[in-house]
Amino acid sequence: MQNENEEESGKETPHHSGGLDMSEAVQGQILCPVCGGPVKVDQEDKVNRCEYCSSPVLGPSQNRDCVNHPGVLAKEVCHVCGDLVCEECLDKRVGEYGGKLLTIVNCEKHSCVAESDWANPLNEEYQKLANMDWADRIDNVILRFTGLGAIVMMVFELIFFIGIMYFQFIYPTWSVPQYSLNLGGFVLGPIIMIPVTILLLSIIGNFLSAILLQSALQVYVHERQLGAGVGLLVIIVFEVAHLLFRGLYFNLLTLPVSWFLPLMIGAFLFGTILVFFGSLAAIYVGNKKRIQLKEAREKLHLSIKPGIEGLTEN
């Protein structure tokens, strides 16, 4: 009997949310339903907080009824105090943080409402029309394409700089164009100008790839996706032009190692193709979102304003 009780106590009992987003128990741990991080259960019968994203996570044995209406199943958790509330007792607000729109749920307590004063009351009808959950999966794919492409370009720039410096100073039979710079009687010879030129062109390339990476991260933000896609295409054009200029200036066809140039061109093309197709997808999806928001505002007779104006009640 003792062994059976021990086995029974070691089993996890599934908990159903009844409309609430519930955590799941895996090997004795409760995982946050938002970020997937482990949650330390301090209170079995009350809401616990995820230490990674601060999301409220229900306790394993917590009552699922509304705190104000026993017997009525709760629909949401107050983001301030953690009380469970039904549709009648909750107040939703919307605010912008980190480029994303956050929906904040409050109960009716004055202290909780005061904590969320920075956000505005939610226009739920507009939220339904402007809901972009349909784009979550494609947004993740676009971010992976553009992000990976931008990282490949940054690695390319680093290896390109190291390779040119290596060939310049290790192989005596190959050199970049040698010239001197006269600064009012003070002459900078090739021994200074060669590494300075290589470094300067490398800095420009790294600067372009850094802008590329920054723009690639913006494709995940709904309001910036369309502009980020267009920006990525423009930056790719500059990247290609800069590489062609360096190829002609350094006369890369004469490199002493035959495999280096095809390898670098292959890496550059790989990164460029990822960013190119990712940017086209970002433009298409971003424009589709723009049209969706425009139609939602027109249907509800809202003015076309930037930011979160349409999501909030007047």
Query: How does the average pLDDT of the chain come out, rounded?
Result: 81
Q: Is this structure's pTM higher than 0.75?
A: no
pLDDT over 60 at 12, yes or no:
no
4-18, 154-168, 181-195 — which is least confidently predicted? 4-18
So what's the pLDDT on residue 177? 80
Tokens linked to 17: 């949310």
Relative to beta strand 48-49, strand 56-57 is antiparallel
pLDDT over 60 at 106, yes or no:
yes
pLDDT over 50 at 16, yes or no:
no
More confident site: 36 or 262: 262
* Percent of the chain residues past pLDDT 70, beyond the cut: 80
In angstroms, the CA 86 to CA 84 distance is: 7
Task: State how far Cα 304 lies from the chain centre.
Answer: 26
So what's the pLDDT on residue 277? 97
Mean pLDDT of 240-268: 93
Tell me the CA end-to-end span of the chain in Å, nearest whole number: 65
In angstroms, the Cα distances linking 249 to 164, 187, 257 are 12, 22, 18
So what's the pLDDT on residue 60? 77
So what's the pLDDT on residue 296? 82
With residue 276 as reference, give the H or E element that holds it. helix 260-299
10-24, 46-60, 89-103, 235-249 — which is least confidently predicted? 10-24
192-203 pLDDT, tens digit each? 788 888 999 999
In the three-class reduction of DSSP (H, G, I as helix; E, B as strand; rest coil), residue 120 is classed as: strand
pLDDT band at 18 (very low <50, low <70, confident <90, very high): very low
Mention every residue, 6+ apart, whose C-beta is less than 8 A from residue 250.
164, 176, 177
Beta strands per DSSP E along the chain? 24-26, 29-31, 38-39, 48-49, 56-57, 76-77, 84-85, 91-97, 100-106, 120-121, 181-183, 186-188
